[in-house]
Amino acid sequence: MQALEVGGDAKTVDLAGITAQDVMSTQVMPVYEDWSIKRLADFFVDNQIAGAPVVTGGDQLTGVVTITDIMKFESASADDDTIAVTRDHYDSIARDTLDAQELRKLSAGASTICTVDSIMTRDVIHIDATTPLFNACATMLKNDVHRLFVTRQEKVIGVITSMDLLKPMARLASV
């Protein structure tokens, strides 16, 4: 049992019983490794998302790609400080609400020749659906990621974002 303090009152709740499948979203929108970066940027804009799992033609998880990856690609000639500022800017947008106008500018300049495969992160952080919520949080913190993919036999069945982790806490706070 864990104590959760809400408005000065300590309440005892069983957070240990909450698992990844309890908080994950099953509406995962994967992208394919052979998509152009232009198509990827358009996909992010159209769906108002900031990242997605990358899958093969057989729907096997092979990577993850985010707005930050597009920014790094588009800013390849920029210095590290410029890339960091741009990344932080787009990360902050992704945490709240995406500014479609800014993303459309990004999409307009995206490459039609290079593919998602060339900019994605291959080392995907993923967890099993039965992983306890505490472990999911620790994994996100340890790896400094904003999303975890939930897999079963190498196939994505869900996603947990930073915001998804806050929802159970908010529900407990209103108890």
Q: What is the per-residue pLDDT for 10?
A: 57
Residue type, 28: V
**CATH code linked to domain 19-170:** 3.10.580.10
Distance CA 79, CA 43 (A): 27
Report the alpha-carbon distance of residue 54 to residue 29 in Å, rounded: 9
Q: Where are the domains of the chain?
A: 19-170
Element (H, E) at 93: helix 80-95
Order of strands, sheet of 155-161, starting from the edge strand that comes earlier in the sequence? 126-128, 147-152, 155-161
- pLDDT more than 70, % of the chain: 69
pLDDT surpassing 60 at residue 96: no
* Element housing 6 (H / E): strand 2-6
Residue 154 — pLDDT band, cuts 50, 70, 90? confident
**Cβ of 89: how many Cβ atoms within 10 Å?**
15
- β 147-152/155-161 pair status: antiparallel
Q: Which of 6-15, 45-54, 105-114, 165-174 has the lowest mean pLDDT?
A: 6-15
Pairing outcome for strands 61-66 and 51-55? antiparallel
pTM: 0.68
- What does the pLDDT read at residue 93? 47
